[in-house]
Structure 1
């Protein structure tokens, strides 16, 4: 297949590019490098330094004869979405709409979209949350992702576009950016390697559903199946506290440091976990990287990078 991965220089996108190339697919990457890193791009991929909002995207799709669009380019900061909802919407809604228009115009066979499970369901009523759980996003980021989902479903119904929407839980692993609003695993790894204690905001008992980026990449291979259509959660279904993550990484790092605590972040979600039985039952995907294995792999990656 000839696949376009938007955001292919990013944390998750770069892993998906590698997985596709290793499977023998021809991959093109579009990334504006606003949050991605050129060094993460597989040298076998065709790379275009470009925003998804650029009118040149259609020309690239035609030139590379793209049959599958895997859309991972996005504004991913919840904090930035709160401070600048218009910027967030322009990237996550308008950018997605333009890709959908191009996909239909050029008769692209498949459209895969990276959505969010962590921010989609708000304060959950059931644990873990299935795809049928009410969507009640608490931030402009979650709202823009939900809006994009609605447009994708519309294009599927109106134009017959084959679509897959993945709602990810909290993804962690090698290549994650430990700066800014990054995942707690990456942030803790960097601090420990630099010899500073990790800081836990609040009491540390807030929970998340942590999943390895390698399991996410594997799900994106499943999505190439034409029968894999609709909305799917992609997570482990397990709740893990921030305290547990901190203590696990302290143990892995073999340090004498002790975690510090700071004030709870305003509006932070208390608990989160998502149910992936739909994807497991229908397409045989399941998470295979244990949290322990994934944390060791991630810590060692950052240790090699920083040293």
Structure 2
């Protein structure tokens, strides 16, 4: 099968590409390398340095004619969507529409779309299931949810199949620890730099942390399953920041200094998924525990920092 992965040089997309190639698929990557890295491009994939908002995307799709598109490319930062909502909408909404038009013209059979827990906003109840009310608190959440509607429209108008995967908090290898990434990648950067960790609030706020390779496997499962479904992809486990710090202490064999600051306005206190539907529909389950995933991630970045000549 030929699969096109947008954002295939990025954190999550590169893992999806690796798993596709490992199972024998032909893979085409479209990535403008704004956050993805050329070093993360699998050498067995065909790579195009093209922006999803560009008309050039259609020429790529007409030439390659993939059967399936896995859409990972996005503006992913909540703060950016607040500070520059036009940029967020241009990439996440208009870029996705441009991609869907390319799918229509190139005869693509299915799109697997990366959405987000951000569409839900502050949970009205826990765990959050797919029937939970939608109430995004940022332009990012709005843009992710808007594309879900466009997928439904393109299905009804043109017969384009789709599966929406709403991600919990993804972490793991290749996530940029020095950017505006997830809390775990930021913590790792501080831990390896022997700097104090900063937690806003009391540290008892909880999230659903899922390892990137489990997310990638869900995307592969969705190629053959889950047509027309919206699925929460998470572990279904609630973990506090204080517990994350405790695990880092255990893995690194060091007691880390933690500075607690005031709560940040707008931060959600508790959030985690009900993942019963994705388990059933995709015949999928998370395999990597948080402790195992943190240990793998810590070892990966420890090796990377040593390559850069940084002392640990």
Q: Normalized against structure 1, the TM-score is what?
A: 0.97
1:55 counterpart residue number: 55
2:309 counterpart residue number: none
Secondary structure in 2 aligned to 1:224?
A: helix
Deviation string, structure 1 residues 228-258 (Cα, Å, up to 9, x no partner): 4321110011111111111211221112432
Deviation string, structure 1 residues 102-124 (Cα, Å, up to 9, x no partner): 1112210111100002x111111
1:205 counterpart residue number: 204
1:306 counterpart residue number: 305
By how many angstroms is 1:269 displaced? 1.2
Q: How does 1:11-50 map to 2 (within 5 A)?
A: 11-50=11-50
By how many angstroms is 1:263 displaced? 2.6
Cα separation, 1, equivalents of 2:256 and 2:148: 43
Cα separation, 2, equivalents of 1:96 and 1:283: 24
Pairing 1:283–2:282 present: yes
Instruction: Kindly indicate whether the alpha-carbon contact (under 8 Å) linking 1:111 and 1:163 is maintained by their aligned counterparts in 2.
Output: yes
Cα separation, 2, equivalents of 1:175 and 1:125: 33
Unpaired segments ≥5 residues, structure 1: none
Unpaired segments ≥5 residues, structure 2: 307-312
Q: What is the number of residues matched between the two proteins?
A: 306
* Distance change in 2, residues 1:285/1:80 (3 Å): same
Secondary structure in 1 aligned to 2:260?
A: strand
Secondary structure in 2 aligned to 1:43?
A: coil
Pairing 1:145–2:156 present: no
1:104 counterpart residue number: 104
2:269 counterpart residue number: 270
Q: How does 1:220-239 map to 2 (within 5 A)?
A: 220-225=219-224, 228-239=227-238
Cα separation, 2, equivalents of 1:200 and 1:302: 21
Q: How does 1:79-90 map to 2 (within 5 A)?
A: 79-90=79-90
Instruction: Kindly indicate whether the alpha-carbon contact (under 8 Å) linking 1:228 and 1:283 is maintained by their aligned counterparts in 2.
Output: no
Secondary structure in 2 aligned to 1:29?
A: strand
Pairing 1:126–2:125 present: yes
1:250 counterpart residue number: 249
Deviation string, structure 1 residues 171-230 (Cα, Å, up to 9, x no partner): 000101112321111111111111112111121111110000011011011011055432
List 4+ stretches of structure 1 deviating above 6 A.
none
